[in-house]
Structure 1
Amino acid sequence: MTPVFGIAGHSGSGKTTLIEAMLPLLAARGLRVNVIKHSHHDFQMEPPGKDSARFRLAGAQEVMVASPFRYAIIHELREAPEPSLDEQLARLSPADLVLVEGFKRAAIPRIEVYRPVTGKPSLHAEDGSFLAVATDAPLETGLPCLPLNEPAQVAAFICRSLDLG
């Protein structure tokens, strides 16, 4: 099974920026990395009025858009429950690591991205299952504190935690 590691934190804490910075570092280690990003909001993958959007609006359950450069599958839930993280992981192509953004309560190894300047409470204070905190400020916690602005150190922590070398 592909190792999975979560990056959790409140909106605006820097999760996406951290993952974006780590991806080339992990690739340089020879790792193929997939990412799942959870959103609480509706989103559009294609511009309204394009063929694939028209197919979805007409009732298609799934639409695949394919080109010589990439493909995407849009699956409409149409009142069905959101798939579990395990179900979503099962749909991904093989990789050496899957980073998961969001899923704050998932039972996977994870770190919290925490910036006190946002004024939001930390997650790790209420949830003892985090392995570390990536932060940009001094923090009193029993967890390892990783420098948020040094993604190489965060990537190294993830690799050590999962024994990825």
Structure 2
Amino acid sequence: MILQVVGYKNSGKTTLMQHIVKQAKSLGLAVATVKHHGHQGEDIALQEANVDHMKHFRAGADQSIVQGNDYQQTVTRSTKQNLSEIINQSVTINCQLILVEGFKQAAYPKIIVAREAADMEELSQLTEVKYQLNWDTDPELQHFDQWLLKELEGLK
């Protein structure tokens, strides 16, 4: 299942993503996440250049992978891709849930997150909206969790 969390800056998207990951993991699901870096004119910050795999990357490698005991990290040069391309090329684990933060215009099921009524109204025009979360009316996420658990039950 692919599920997007969309909203404007400082609307609580990352907080909700963390919550969903924890809920899914408590059910024993494997989860991958994809984040859109929406800050215009800024690129993502890469790991420090003094570690060996980043030395390889900075020397010109198109992809550099480092393997530790429990983790693997990959950095890849890439032109801007749409969400489907990112998922198809970069999500390399077998998982039941792919959570996406951002990519408002992509055509996957969405949870919209807003703090202001005007933002909620505007975001509700997006395609595939499955849930609308207003932090003021559900701050403890009780209603949201009921909905989420129903969505995730079939993924086990």
The two structures share one fold, judged by TM-score above 0.5: yes
Kindly state the Cα deviation for residue 94 of structure 1 after the two structures are TM-superposed: 0.7
- 1:67-86 counterparts in 2 under 5 A? 67-77=68-78, 80=79, 82-86=80-84
Q: Which has the higher helix share?
A: 2
User: Over the residues paired in the alignment, what is the CA RMSD in angstroms?
Assistant: 2.3
Unaligned runs of 5+ residues in structure 1 are 139-146
Kindly state the Cα deviation for residue 153 of structure 1 after the two structures are TM-superposed: 4.1
Supply the distance in 2 between the matched residues of 1:8 and 1:97 (Cα, whole angstroms): 16
Number of residue pairs the alignment of both structures matches: 149
Residue 143 of structure 1 aligns with which residue? none
**Is the 2:107–2:127 contact (alpha carbons within 8 Å) kept by the matching residues of 1?**
no
- 1:7-156 counterparts in 2 under 5 A? 7-40=5-38, 41-77=42-78, 80=79, 82-90=80-88, 91-92=90-91, 93-116=93-116, 121-122=119-120, 123-127=122-126, 129-138=128-137, 147-150=138-141, 153-156=143-146
Unaligned runs of 5+ residues in structure 2 are none
Aligned-pair identity (%): 23
Supply the distance in 2 between the matched residues of 1:53 and 1:44 (Cα, whole angstroms): 12
Kindly state the Cα deviation for residue 160 of structure 1 after the two structures are TM-superposed: 2.8
Q: TM-score, normalising length from structure 1? A: 0.77
Give the secondary-structure state (helix, strand or coil) at the position aligned to 2:24: helix
Residue 147 of structure 2 aligns with which residue? 157
Kindly state the Cα deviation for residue 55 of structure 1 after the two structures are TM-superposed: 1.7
Give the secondary-structure state (helix, strand or coil) at the position aligned to 2:3: strand
